[in-house]
Amino acid sequence: MRTKTIIAFVIWVINSILLLFLIQINYKIDDLKRNLDDVEKKVSEMRVWAEDIKLARAKSTDNVSVLERVENLSKKYEISFESARPSGDYVEVVARGVEPSKAVKFIWELEQSGLVIAKLKLRKNISDANLNDIEVFIEQR
């Protein structure tokens, strides 16, 4: 009889430990679900913001293509392009022999106009060290 009591007590202790362990796991699962809900809400907000940004950028271009905007800026700073052409998802612009101040102002205004510069190479001109060569890849949207 005493052996049965000890076995019953051991089983009761094991069951109690398992019950406490399950309660703890359940609490952690609930906590993770709450965190997941928060993350999903934030992701959906970010998606809405991304759409708003796309709409704002589309409105800001006033139906003028990226290439046209770049050409207008080049005229403003008297920069002549060696080439300016669409290349996949980008507009590739190459200018040689540009004064450093005009190059910096041109690049700055490109960024300020809302265009996204994906790649920029600014080097000294081989034939004249006082001038720069510019290669810019601008995202088309």
Sorted by where each begins, the domain ranges of the chain are: 1-60, 66-139
Q: Residue 23 pLDDT > 90, yes or no?
A: yes
CATH class for the domain made up of 66-139? alpha beta
pLDDT of 57: 65
**Does this model's pTM top 0.75?**
no
| Greater model confidence, 17 or 70 | 17
Taking alpha carbons only, the member of 136, 132, 137, 138 closest to residue 96 is 132
Q: Residue 63 pLDDT > 50, yes or no?
A: no
- What tokens were used for 27? 């609490």
Q: How many whole angstroms separate alpha carbon 52 and alpha carbon 119?
A: 25
Taking alpha carbons only, the member of 61, 78, 68, 54 closest to residue 113 is 61
pLDDT in tens, 68-114: 888 888 899 889 898 888 878 888 999 999 999 999 999 999 888 88
Q: What percent of the chain has pLDDT over 90?
A: 54
Residues forming beta bridges with residue 132, ordered by sequence position = 98, 124
